[in-house]
């Protein structure tokens, strides 16, 4: 938007010298919701409402105070950014030690500013100051009106006569009122990512956090949801979704207070991270992201997914490349000839790109297993005597693109890089090294290391301008956190992530659109901080399609299908059709030995890829409706429908083997136009099989949504893909 328009659109509200009794309401509204802040008579900034918005914003002034009976708590429990060390005795959002050693903080409202960035996006900024110390915090609320999404962060600053220590420095502090609160959270491990748990919150503090440094999400992702009053279903109930846009240690405290209200405090984890802030220096926290729906989990997901495509994910509305990956086909065991064959197979299969995985680099300590070579990013001369460029050329000759795996943040103890630059490695100088997957992490807080990591990518592209894709892996957590570069070790975890983002910024400045997959020993690093730089992510090394139905289901609450990289592999016992159908529910790839496919299997895959070409736009850019939950019945069913509600695709699977359980059938469709007429045709049939679905029948959208449709999934038809088309 042009600066002139911004100027005209921007509305500056500066309020000063108001009388002591005056209260000011600051409603931060989106299409359906409002977060209403109130400046009370003591200039404290409190949250008086979070949830559905009112038709007349003036009525917010009539919201009764919750604390009539407990005046002592006024402005403490529901503070919009709770300081510590003065009147507040609850979990703080911010806690500091001033330059003079004093530990108290109070924050009073000074002014606020509402800036309309464009028709849909508004930034509300509120300045708070401590009356006793020259210390200030600006709260920022960036709202996306149509999507009902808010990003909230804070900027902390002071002008004291020395450094201030930030002991806690949250991005956001929310305050929610309901009868009861139900937290849905996720846990995981390698090959078991995104395992859901849902339970009622009890009094006290429930903390979701990680201290792993890198691969921050592997045990505990930062995405969560809280249902209000009762567990929200797919289509009903009030639910808040939250997540931190940060690829490192995070901490989210959910405190059910003595007045039965929920305080949510989210930010970078302050674990081992007390931050020394110089006078006039700004500390900007990462955004805490949230959306709220009173129409259930499905509506909340679609809002978040559409926001992510429009505003966050790199090229979120663009296209993606289908691919053949060699990891499970070869592991470390390959040479140029073998790869040439795989490149030919890529063409034969009909996908866009061949992706060369781990094992292609290092000479002194060749990368023939996972315990050597990381850091030495020259092609291995024995395996690839003619380098990467000959592979890129071969791909071009075969009319496919070429992509490559790197793990640039890591170093093997057996590597030339480690020998040359031991000071670049994260380790405790006085302690024995401790490895995760036989490797160590490079110190990205060090600008020299940032240059090195940037250089890995830049060199690959400079030497191979036709290189079309990168898989960026990150397999180790940070043990023995210590930087030989940093003077203040308490800054390490934060500076690591800042360093990573600096590198990614530089890469994107020079290579703005090249697709890069975010991978972390499976799905160890998936968050919207990182996804600004990546076009897709690897959900898990677990590609057993039955497991994937569940895992992709859980990821889909927070992430759209276009970023979900799903590969057909040999994991699991399901036939190739089942495996391919599941992988099609996102960004399709293959990691199989094409030459070992039977004739029919190959023919099926080739046809599936062609079919996918026609469906992918609906899957990637359409709205997603979860129809039948695999955790609740025998059948899983997921629908994607385009904006015009004319074209859809429904994936259906048998996920249980109980006899005669038809209770969830027929499956009621969602998101259609009740007045449109549709036909339903089964697609992606395995060669030699026929469909039991009558594609000649015509249904109204109303019928399909009120009565439903039976995809006829059964033991002989475990996986059924249906194409829904509007009939004129
Ligand atoms: C990680 C990734 C895999 C593969 C291997 C290579 O585990 O998740 O997909 O790339 O590394 O070592």
Residue 659: its pLDDT value, please?
72
- Mutating to test ligand 1, I would choose from 370, 519, 524, 567 the residue with most ligand atoms within 8 A of its C-beta, which is 519
CA of 13 to the centre of ligand 1 (A): 52
User: Taking the model in full, what pTM does it have?
Assistant: 0.96
Helix residue ranges, H only, 257-354: 296-307, 327-330, 336-349
pLDDT tens digits along 149-171:
999 999 999 999 999 999 999 99
CA of 82 to the centre of ligand 1 (A): 42
Query: CA nearest 80: which of 108, 52, 51, 59?
Result: 108
Question: Which atom number of ligand 1 is nearest to the Cα of residue 357?
Answer: 10
- Mutating to test ligand 1, I would choose from 541, 565, 569, 592 the residue with most ligand atoms within 8 A of its C-beta, which is 541
Query: CA nearest 141: which of 175, 173, 166?
Result: 173
485 burial via Cβ count (<10 Å: 0-12, 13-18, 19+): middle
Q: What number is the average pLDDT over the span 182-191?
A: 98
Q: Whose CA is nearest to atom 3 of ligand 1?
A: 521
Residue 41: its pLDDT value, please?
87
Cβ pair 634, 661 in contact under 8 A: yes
The values of phi and psi at residue 596, to 5°, are -95, 0
Q: Whose CA is nearest to atom 12 of ligand 1?
A: 358
Q: Whose CA is nearest to atom 6 of ligand 1?
A: 358
Residue 286 CA, distance from chain mean position: 14
Query: Which residues on adjacent β-strands are paired with residue 256?
Result: 204, 262
Q: What percent of the chain has pLDDT over 90?
A: 92
Pair of tokens at residue 366 = 């060749």
- Mutating to test ligand 1, I would choose from 357, 359, 370 the residue with most ligand atoms within 8 A of its C-beta, which is 357
CA of 619 to the centre of ligand 1 (A): 26
Q: Whose CA is nearest to atom 7 of ligand 1?
A: 521
CA geometry: angle at 458 spanning 509 and 308, to 5°?
40
Sequence-distant (6+) residues with CB within 8 A of 386 are: 336
Q: Whose CA is nearest to atom 9 of ligand 1?
A: 541
Residue 75: its pLDDT value, please?
56
Pair of tokens at residue 539 = 């959900």
Pair of tokens at residue 333 = 């065991």
CA of 345 to the centre of ligand 1 (A): 21
CA of 456 to the centre of ligand 1 (A): 18
Residue 72: its pLDDT value, please?
52
Residue 66: its pLDDT value, please?
61
CA of 473 to the centre of ligand 1 (A): 7
Would you give the end-to-end CA distance of the chain in angstroms? 40
Sheet of 45-52, strand order: 24-29, 33-39, 45-52
Cis? peptide before 155, omega within 30° of 0 = no
CA of 197 to the centre of ligand 1 (A): 27
Q: Whose CA is nearest to atom 1 of ligand 1?
A: 521
Residue 76: its pLDDT value, please?
76
CA of 335 to the centre of ligand 1 (A): 19
145 burial via Cβ count (<10 Å: 0-12, 13-18, 19+): middle
268 burial via Cβ count (<10 Å: 0-12, 13-18, 19+): buried
Question: Which atom number of ligand 1 is nearest to the Cα of residue 370?
Answer: 12
Q: What number is the average pLDDT over the span 689-712?
A: 98
Pair of tokens at residue 255 = 């405190």
* Confidence category of residue 70, pLDDT binned at 50, 70, 90: very low
Cβ pair 588, 322 in contact under 8 A: yes
How many other C-beta atoms lie within 10 A of the C-beta of residue 345? 23
Provide the CB-side half-sphere exposure for 670 (13 A, CA).
Answer: 15
Cβ pair 649, 639 in contact under 8 A: yes
CA of 385 to the centre of ligand 1 (A): 24
How many other C-beta atoms lie within 10 A of the C-beta of residue 24? 16
Residue 508: its pLDDT value, please?
98
Helix residue ranges, H only, 622-695: none
Residue 17: its pLDDT value, please?
36
Helix (H, G, I), strand (E, B) or coil at 286: coil
pLDDT tens digits along 23-61:
899 999 999 999 999 998 889 999 999 999 999 999 999
pLDDT tens digits along 240-291:
999 999 999 999 999 999 989 999 999 999 999 999 999 999 999 999 999 9
Q: What is d(CA 265, CA 174) in angstroms, rounded to the nearest whole number?
A: 6
Count how many residues are written for the chain: 728
CA of 218 to the centre of ligand 1 (A): 14
Q: What is d(CA 585, CA 562) in angstroms, rounded to the nearest whole number?
A: 9
Distances (CA, A) of 2 to 117, 118, 402, 542: 10, 10, 39, 47
Pair of tokens at residue 342 = 């795989």
Provide the CB-side half-sphere exposure for 195 (13 A, CA).
Answer: 11
Query: Which residues on adjacent β-strands are paired with residue 516?
Result: 470
**How much of the chain is helix, strand and coil, in % rounded to 5?**
25, 30, 45
Residue 69: its pLDDT value, please?
42
Pair of tokens at residue 42 = 């003591």
pLDDT tens digits along 446-487:
999 999 999 999 999 999 999 999 999 999 999 999 999 999
Q: What number is the average pLDDT over the span 657-662?
A: 74
- Mutating to test ligand 1, I would choose from 193, 217, 362, 475 the residue with most ligand atoms within 8 A of its C-beta, which is 475
Question: Which atom number of ligand 1 is nearest to the Cα of residue 519?
Answer: 8
CA of 341 to the centre of ligand 1 (A): 22
Q: What is d(CA 45, CA 175) in angstroms, rounded to the nearest whole number?
A: 12
Beta strand 647-654 pairing with 587-590: unpaired
CA of 520 to the centre of ligand 1 (A): 8
pLDDT tens digits along 529-584:
999 999 999 999 999 999 999 999 999 999 999 999 999 999 999 999 999 999 99
Pair of tokens at residue 582 = 């599941």
Q: What is d(CA 28, CA 174) in angstroms, rounded to the nearest whole number?
A: 13
Cβ pair 550, 557 in contact under 8 A: no
Sequence-distant (6+) residues with CB within 8 A of 186 are: 194, 195, 196, 197, 220, 221, 223, 224, 554
Q: What is the CA radius of gyration of the chain?
A: 27
Cβ-count burial 347-378 (b if 16+ within 10 Å, e if not): bbbbbbbbbbbbbbbbeebbbbebebbbbbbb
- Pocket lined around ligand 1, Cβ cut-off 6 Å: 327, 357-358, 370, 405, 473, 475, 519, 521-522, 538, 541
Average pLDDT in the chain = 95
How many other C-beta atoms lie within 10 A of the C-beta of residue 164? 27
Torsion of CA 222, 223, 227, 232, to 10 degrees: -150
Distances (CA, A) of 28 to 53, 112, 240, 428, 460: 9, 12, 16, 47, 46
pLDDT tens digits along 595-619:
999 999 999 999 999 999 999 999 9
Q: What number is the average pLDDT over the span 85-96?
A: 94
Is residue 15's pLDDT more than 50?
Answer: no
CA of 193 to the centre of ligand 1 (A): 15
- Between helices 599-621 and 576-583, what is the axis angle to 10°? 20
Q: Whose CA is nearest to atom 11 of ligand 1?
A: 521
């Amino acid at each position: 938007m042009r600066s002139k328009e911004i100027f005209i659109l921007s509305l500056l509200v500066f309020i000063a010298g108001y009388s002591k009794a005056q209260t000011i309401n600051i409603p931060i509204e989106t299409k359906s919701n409002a977060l209403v802040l109130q400046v009370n008579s003591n200039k404290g900034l409190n949250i008086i409402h979070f949830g559905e918005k009112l038709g007349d914003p003036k009525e917010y002034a009539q919201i009764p105070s919750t604390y009539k009976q407990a005046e002592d708590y006024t402005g403490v429990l529901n503070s919009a950014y709770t300081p510590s060390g003065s009147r507040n005795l609850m979990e703080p959002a911010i806690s500091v030690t001033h330059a003079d050693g004093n530990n108290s903080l109070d924050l009073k409202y000074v002014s606020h500013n509402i800036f309309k960035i464009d028709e849909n996006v508004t930034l509300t900024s509120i300045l708070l100051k401590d009356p006793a110390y020259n210390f200030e915090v600006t709260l920022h609320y960036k709202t996306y009106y149509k999507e009902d999404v808010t990003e909230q962060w804070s900027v902390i600053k002071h002008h004291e006569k020395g450094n201030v220590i930030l002991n806690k420095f949250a991005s956001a502090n929310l305050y929610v009122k309901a009868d009861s609160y139900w937290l849905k959270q996720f846990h995981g491990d390698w090959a078991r990512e995104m395992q859901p748990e849902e339970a009622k919150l009890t009094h006290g503090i429930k903390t979701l956090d990680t201290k792993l440094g890198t691969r921050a999400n592997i045990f505990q992702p930062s995405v969560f949801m809280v249902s209000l009053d009762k567990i929200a279903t797919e289509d009903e109930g009030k639910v808040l979704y939250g997540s931190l846009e940060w690829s490192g240690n995070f901490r989210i405290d959910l405190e059910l207070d003595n007045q039965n209200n929920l305080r949510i405090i989210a930010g970078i984890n302050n674990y081992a991270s007390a931050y020394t802030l110089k006078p006039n220096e700004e500390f900007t926290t990462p955004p805490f992201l949230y959306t709220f729906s009173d129409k259930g989990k499905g509506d909340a997901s679609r809002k978040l997914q559409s926001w992510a495509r429009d505003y966050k994910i790199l090229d979120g509305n663009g296209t993606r490349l289908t691919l053949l990956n060699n990891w499970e086909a070869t592991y470390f065991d390959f040479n140029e000839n073998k790869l040439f064959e795989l490149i030919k197979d890529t063409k034969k299969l009909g996908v866009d790109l061949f992706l060369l995985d781990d094992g292609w680099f290092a000479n002194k300590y060749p990368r023939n297993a996972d315990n050597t070579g990381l850091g030495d990013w020259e092609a291995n001369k024995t395996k690839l005597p003619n380098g990467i460029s000959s592979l890129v050329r071969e791909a071009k000759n075969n009319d496919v693109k070429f992509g490559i795996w790197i793990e640039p943040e890591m170093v093997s103890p057996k590597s030339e890089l480690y020998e040359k630059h031991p000071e670049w490695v994260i380790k405790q100088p006085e302690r024995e090294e401790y490895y995760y997957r036989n490797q160590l992490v490079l110190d990205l807080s060090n600008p020299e290391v940032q240059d090195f990591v940037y250089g890995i990518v830049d060199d690959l592209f400079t030497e191979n301008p036709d290189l079309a894709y990168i898989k960026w892996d990150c397999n180790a957590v940070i043990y023995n956190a210590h930087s030989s570069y940093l003077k203040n070790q308490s800054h390490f975890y934060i500076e690591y992530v800042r360093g990573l983002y600096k590198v990614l910024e530089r890469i994107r400045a020079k290579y703005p659109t090249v697709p890069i997959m975010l991978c972390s020993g499976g799905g160890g690093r998936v968050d919207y901080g990182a996804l600004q730089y990546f076009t897709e992510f690897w959900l898990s090394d677990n590609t057993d399609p039955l497991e994937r139905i569940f895992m992709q289901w859980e990821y889909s609450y927070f992430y759209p299908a276009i970023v979900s990289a799903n590969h057909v592999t040999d994991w699991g016992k399901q036939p190739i059709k089942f495996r391919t159908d599941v992988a099609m529910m996102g960004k399709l790839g293959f990691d199989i030995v094409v030459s070992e496919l039977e004739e029919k299997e190959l023919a099926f895959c080739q046809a599936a890829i062609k079919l996918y070409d026609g469906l992918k736009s609906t899957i990637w850019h359409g709205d997603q409706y979860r129809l039948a939950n695999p955790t609740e019945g025998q059948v899983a069913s997921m629908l994607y429908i385009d904006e015009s509600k004319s074209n859809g695709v429904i994936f259906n699977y048998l996920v249980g083997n109980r006899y005669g359980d038809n209770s969830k059938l027929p499956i009621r469709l969602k998101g259609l136009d009740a007045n449109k007429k549709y036909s339903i045709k089964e697609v992606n049939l395995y060669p030699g099989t026929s469909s039991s679905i009558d594609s000649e029948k015509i249904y109204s959208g109303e019928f399909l949504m009120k009565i439903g449709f039976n995809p006829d999934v059964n033991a002989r038809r475990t996986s059924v893909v249906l194409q829904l088309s509007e009939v004129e």
